Amino acid sequence: MFADAFQSPSTVAVEYGRPARRARGIGDAVSADVQTAQIFVLTLPSPATVADDYDVSVLNGLVADVFKSFDAVFVADEGETLHVFAIAADHDDDAYERMARAEDQLAARRPGLMFEVHLRATRGRLPTVVAPAGSRQVHARR
């Protein structure tokens, strides 16, 4: 009975977004066998989580692309606002001109995105030292 249960696709236990506590879809008739057996449960992210992750990934790629003239770029979320930290050697006019161009490009390519750009100067330090705690790096110039 235990083997029969596992021949049917309906007995494949899949839970979305969280570890499964027990298999589902297995009839009561085999429950005793199942409860004593070790069950391998496939845990997948939910479709919504996949979509969110995909969107974040695409957005990170877009930010990295439009700010690629900077030494490094970090992002952080705060409510509905995406904070973009563009890392440059110093606070000179050229860096701010590049920042304005990149900001305009991002706004054009993602209308409706609420974001705020900050320029952080390294002045000889590593970009990772200058980036705010909790931000994630989306670009590093090689």
Partner 1 sequence: MSDAPNEWEIVVRFYAALHLVQAYLVDKGLDGPPENHGQRSKAIRDNTELSQGRGRAFRTVFDRLKSVSEQVRYDAGFTATTADIEKSRTDLATADAFIRPKLR
Q: Which residues bind partner 1 (CB under 8 A)?
A: 81, 91, 93, 96-97, 99-100, 103-104, 107, 114-121, 123, 125, 129-130, 132
CB of 71 to partner 1, least distance (A): 15
Distance CA 100, CA 32 (A): 66
Secondary structure letter of residue 6 according to DSSP: H
Question: SS3 for 56?
Answer: helix
- What is the CA angle 21-22-25, rounded to 5? 140
Query: Would you state the structure tokens that stand for residue 107, as one six-digit string?
Result: 């706004």
Please state the closest distance from residue 66 (CB atom) to partner 1, in A.
Answer: 13
CB of 76 to partner 1, least distance (A): 12
Q: Which of 2/96 has CB closer to partner 1? A: 96
Nearer to partner 1, 19 or 79 (CB): 79
Between strands 115-121 and 136-140, the pairing is: unpaired
What residues does 43 pair with on adjacent strands? 15
Q: How far is the CB of 107 from partner 1 (least distance, A)?
A: 6
Return the number of the residue (64 or 121) whose C-beta is nearest partner 1.
Answer: 121
